Amino acid sequence: MISKQQGFSLIEVLITFIILIVGIMGLIKLQTYMERQADYAENCIKALHLAEAQLELFRTRSVSGADGTITFASISSGSSVSGVYTSQWIVTDSLSGALKTINIETGWNNRWNERQSVALKTMISKYNEFDN
């Protein structure tokens, strides 16, 4: 007897549901990963901005401290807090005090209370092109 099949069998429907569920679970995992990376990128940009602002303050130095700028000799290690971000900089002297190396690290705690940070390093000379 020849049978004409109409519709789908139960096994075909179950396999389709399993494939669909695996695909949806993959999309959910991708969404959470993208959200985590976007959160990190946003915080990283804010922390980088704070670190660059501190380095820019050090860059606007002068020998005499004229015009409200800081003197080269007053650049020293320290820290600051801005909201959830903490910045810490370490200043080391070299070349008989004519050159300072500045390492600055700005960090924050993410949603899962894990410590994240960005770090910058630069060197500043005692001699400024704008001093006479």
Count structural domains, the chain: 1
Asked whether residue 32 is domain-assigned, the answer is yes
| Domain carrying residue 121 | 10-125
Mean pLDDT over 66-82 rounds to 84
DSSP string, 57-115: HHHSEESS-GGGPEEGGG---EEEEETTEEEEEEEEEETTTTEEEEEEEEEEE-TT--E
Contact criterion met (CB below 8 Å) for 63 and 71: yes
Determine what percent of the chain is predicted with pLDDT higher than 90.
62
The answer to whether residue 4 sits within a structural domain is: no
Q: Does residue 37 sit within a domain?
A: yes
The C-alpha atoms of residue 75 and residue 55 are separated, in whole angstroms, by 11
The whole-number average pLDDT for the span 95-113 is 90
| CATH number of the domain where residue 109 is located | 2.20.25.110
- Domain membership of residue 130 (yes or no) is no
| Residue 61 lies inside a defined structural domain of this protein | yes
* Residue 121 belongs to a domain: yes
- Tell me if 17 is assigned to some domain: yes
Which pTM value belongs to this model?
A: 0.73
* 132: confidence class by pLDDT, cuts 50, 70, 90: low
**pLDDT given for residue 130 in this prediction:** 59
Q: What is the pLDDT of residues 18-62, one digit of tens each?
A: 999 999 999 999 999 999 999 999 999 999 999 999 998 888 876
In a domain, 77, yes or no: yes
Residue 115, pLDDT score:
94
For residue 57 the two structure tokens come to 């303050």
What is the predicted pLDDT for the residue at 52? 94
